Chains A and B, each alone.
Chain A
Amino acid sequence: MKRYDCLKLLAPLVDEHMLTVTSLSSNTAFWSDLRREGVNFFGCNMGLCIPFALGLSAAFPRRKVIALDSDGSLMIDTSSLITVADVNPPNFVAIVMDNGSYARMGSTFTARKTDLEKIAQGAGIAKTGTVRGEEALAAAVKHALETSGPHFIVAKVEPDMVRVKGDPHRTYGRAMREWFLDAVRRHPDYQQARK
């Protein structure tokens, strides 16, 4: 299963008012290619994707918030899963694209003994799954977006053959953050909260 194909399946399921956060990996370049509009925060540094999405899920309780994390990133701070379990946000969906490898450092622990779904269960997240095929992924994501969470899905994908870079003006640094904040300001729930 290829990461890009997974994200392609996911994009039409995400409506314009849902919020997404991506980790610093090819998730960023791929997702920015597939979902150009809406509230997207791209390229969270390692370990920070799920915590950032958790904050957004508290700020936008009526919308699904989707964390597109990756194995190397999540394993920097698996304790964030404990916080997710404890806050227990019904609108939180984490999808971990697990390719079993770091971008430049060889294989990760998930290629050997580590099972991220089991760690999430141990942390206390009840709704978890691991998927290895596109159909299973589509079904899991649809279910997660339609039902109360938090949800945690591990998608086992192949290592990406090439490194891909997104448009830096949309996926990186101050320019990305300004796009993000602009989208947040235009979000209907944000406007209501201000009134």
Chain B
Amino acid sequence: MKRLDCLKVLAPLVDEHMLAVTSLSTNTPFWFTVRPQGPNFFALNMGLCLPFALGLSVAFPKRKIIAIDSDGSLMNDSSSLITVADVNPPNLVAFVMDNGSYAHMGPTFTTRRTDLAKMAQGAGIANTGTVGSLEEFSAAAKQAMESRGPTLIVAKVERDAGRVSADRSRTSGRPMREWFMDAVRHHPDYKGGR
């Protein structure tokens, strides 16, 4: 199963008012390719994708919040799973694109003993699962988008062949944040600043 194929399946399930957050990995250029518009926060540093999405899920309780995280990132702060379980936001859907490898540092622990879905269950997230084919991914994603969460889906994907880069003015640094803030300000649920 390829990461881009998963995200292509996911994109049509995400409506214009849902908010998406991606980790610092190929999730970022790929997600930008399949969902260039709408509120997206791209390329959160390692460990921060799920916590950022958790905050958004509290801020926008009427919309699904989609975290598109990755194995190396989540394992930097697996304790964030405990916070997700405890806050228990019904609108949070987390996808962990698990390719079993860091971008530049070889394999991760998930290729050996670590099972992230089991860690999430232990943290207390009831709706968890691991999928290994595009059909399973598609079914799990549809169900997650239609039901109450929080839901965490580990998608076992192949290693990406070659690094991909996206339009940096949309996916990193201050321009990305300004795009994101602009999308938030135009969001129908946004009630203004303080």
Contact = CB atoms under 8 A, between A and B. Distances in A.
A85 B114 contact: yes
Majority-rule SS of B interface residues? helix
A76 B82 CA distance: 10
A88 B112 CA distance: 11
Given A86-B112, A113-B86, A124-B109, A78 B124 contact: no
A129 to B, nearest CB: 14
B122 A86 contact: no
Contact of B121 (A118, A120, A124): A118
A140 interface: no
A116 interface: yes
Nearest to A77: B79
B5 interface: no
Given A79-B78, A114-B123, A116-B122, A86 B113 contact: yes
Contacts of B183: none
A78 B79 CA distance: 5
B85 interface: yes
B110 to A, nearest CB: 9
Contacts, number: 84
A122 B79 contact: no
Contacts of B109: 82, 85-86, 123-124
B82 A114 contact: yes
A121 interface: yes
Nearest to B74: A79
Nearest to B113: A124
Which among A78, A81, A117, A121 has the highest number of chain B CB atoms within 10 Å?
A: A78
A76 to B, nearest CB: 6
B124 A122 contact: no
Contacts of B77: 79
Contact of A113 (B78, B79, B85): B85
Contacts of A119: 78, 119, 122-123
B75 interface: yes
A109 interface: yes
A75 B86 CA distance: 12
A115 interface: yes
Interface string B77-103: 111011001101000000000000000
Which among B81, B119, B120 has the highest number of chain A CB atoms within 10 Å?
A: B119
B107 to A, nearest CB: 10
B86 A122 contact: no
Interface in A83-115: 85-86, 88, 109, 112-115
Contacts of A113: 85-86, 88, 123-124
Nearest to A116: B122
A88 B77 CA distance: 20
B79 A79 contact: yes
B76 interface: yes
19 contacts: A75-B79, A75-B82, A77-B79, A78-B82, A82-B78, A82-B114, A85-B113, A86-B109, A109-B86, A109-B123, A112-B124, A113-B123, A114-B82, A114-B122, A114-B124, A116-B122, A119-B78, A119-B122, A123-B109
Interface of B: 75-79, 81-82, 85-86, 88, 109, 112-124
Interface of A: 75-79, 81-82, 85-86, 88, 109, 112-125
Q: Which 5 A-B pairs have the closest CB atoms?
A: A124-B113, A113-B124, A118-B122, A122-B118, A122-B119
